[in-house]
Amino acid sequence: MLFPTALRRSSLLLFLGFSFAFARNAQTDPHRPLLTFNLVALDAKGGPLRDLAAAHLRIYDDGKLMPASFCRLLVTAQRQHPSLGPTENSNRPTGGNAQSTLILLDLLNSNSSERGLGWSEIARTLTRLPAGERVYVYLLTNEGSLYPILLLRDAASPAQARNAAQVPSLLDEAMRSLNRLRPWEFQKDGDARANQTVAALRSLASDFATLRGPKSLVWISRGIPAAITGRDGLLRDYTPVVSRLGTDLARSGIAVYAVDQADRRTDDLTGQDTPQQIAGLTGGQWLPVNATARAIEQAISDGAATFQIGYIPPADRWDDKFHHLRVTSANKGVRLRSIDGYFGDAREADPQQRLALAALGQADDSGIGIRAVVTPSQRMADWTHFQVRVDPADLELTPGETYTGEFTVSLTWFTTEWKRELSQEPPATLHFAAAQREAVMRDGVEFSVDRPIPAGARKIRIVVRDNQSSAVGSLTVLVPAAIEQPPVPPATTASLLK
């Protein structure tokens, strides 16, 4: 069986992961995975740096100096292809991306006075933000559930500005109804509360990760202890769990700005290390109590200074261990903030395992560039239309008087777990004259298909595999609302864009 049992999840799975690619250019090795991560670059005055070349970066992997493969600005990067359309998604950020900020007020790991402080700071800060900022607000309730104030889906709608203005009153209403004692199991069982906190963060981030552009999570919390004694009396070390959560968030381009919710002058320090650790692992920052406003404002401003870095680790780094990273610049006066390290998943080095991870694992894979528009089908009621554009520069094309190649597209969906069944389409065969090569490379290759999506599916992953080189790419998108249309036979097309 292609997809190993280890990839199966019985609960909500966060599709987080570094983007690994078999890139094809002079700066990369097609036989070793490419690691991508985000980096914030500021000039000597603390303003966003707009120009940063890969040649000026020094990457230290466990102390070993390594070169960067590429460096591109996320918000206004100038790429070979046109900017994304308003409803288009991509596994490679392009120009026109905007900063997104998700604010999570943690009620599960706080007392009543701490909740009120975070609540009031959020309300005051949002009233001062400029119109047009993409901001989403959630509460982590005492029951361990996520309570949306400004939804990820709704906030992208034309009503976003009105909703943002209503956040203070919506927060007031939510706090009145939710400000109660924790359930008994979360009061007496710190182990259960910690597990629920981690699960909630993964669940929320799974939707947040589908947005393109820089993404910041402002987590207002006292955190969870690094070591917890469960109801069975056994001490559990949560350091590996927190470390994997942090690297997973970073792998999806989410930087965490953790705001300490407790007054550490009079309180214990048992939970402080975990928010600091997650912030460092994601390239964000940890801020002390009463700094919610500063965290939100900094998270938004850092988006304009966020670059995506590509780097090929040594072959021996794919050993299922954590490796420390440090990035510096050869240019004087440049200040950089990046991730503290990465987890070297050994499965990324094997092409078959890598295909399984691209389809069912924790990450979208940018090994093959994909752009897609997903809409309700106009041909079949309750079906979904996929218009997928593949970057031919990432396909193995056989040259000659004509160029030939072949790739396949597969679909998988997300409800409470990534389903093991894949909808695999017939191979798309490419055949074009040498005179067309420049246009094909510029415009890409389009694949369109209408397919049914199971009830309850919230996200769909599009997987592209090059049948000649075994390179893969994947892109996760949200399921559009169904529109009733008269049924007509579905169509599948694969064409070169002219």
pLDDT at 458: 80
Short-list 120, 79, 129, 78, CA closest to 99: 129
Which is more confidently placed, 234 or 363? 234
245-259, 341-355, 459-473 — which is least confidently predicted? 341-355
Q: What's the whole-number average pLDDT of the chain?
A: 78
pLDDT at 27: 40
| Beta bridge pairs of residue 254 | 215
User: At residue 13, does pLDDT exceed 80?
Assistant: no
pLDDT band at 296 (very low <50, low <70, confident <90, very high): very high
Q: Is 148 exposed, middle or buried (0-12, 13-18, 19+ CB in 10 A)?
A: middle
DSSP code of 393? G
14-28, 76-90, 328-342 — which is least confidently predicted? 14-28
Give per-residue pLDDT as tens, 209-253: 877 778 999 999 988 888 887 777 778 888 888 888 998 898 888
C-beta of residue 362 within 8 angstroms of C-beta of residue 13: yes
Which is more confidently placed, 77 or 430? 430
Read off the pLDDT of each residue in 56-71 and give the average, rounded to a whole number. 94
User: Helix, strand or coil for residue 302?
Assistant: helix
- The pTM for the full model equals 0.74
Tokens 């940018």 identify what position?
366
11-15, 177-181, 328-332 — which is least confidently predicted? 11-15
**Cα 258 vs. chain centroid, distance in angstroms?**
17
Instruction: Say what angle helices 160-178 and 112-128 make with each other, to 10 degrees.
Output: 170
Tokens 């200074």 identify what position?
305
Spatial separation of the C-alpha atoms in residues 342 and 415, rounded to whole Å: 28
pLDDT band at 82 (very low <50, low <70, confident <90, very high): low
Read off the pLDDT of each residue in 291-295 and give the average, rounded to a whole number. 91
User: At residue 163, does pLDDT exceed 80?
Assistant: no
Largest Cα–Cα separation, the chain? 76
User: At residue 21, does pLDDT exceed 50?
Assistant: no
pLDDT at 181: 64
32: left (phi over 0), alpha (psi -120 to 50) or beta: beta
pLDDT band at 31 (very low <50, low <70, confident <90, very high): low
C-beta of residue 292 within 8 angstroms of C-beta of residue 24: no
Helix (H) or strand (E) holding 204: helix 190-208
pLDDT at 63: 96
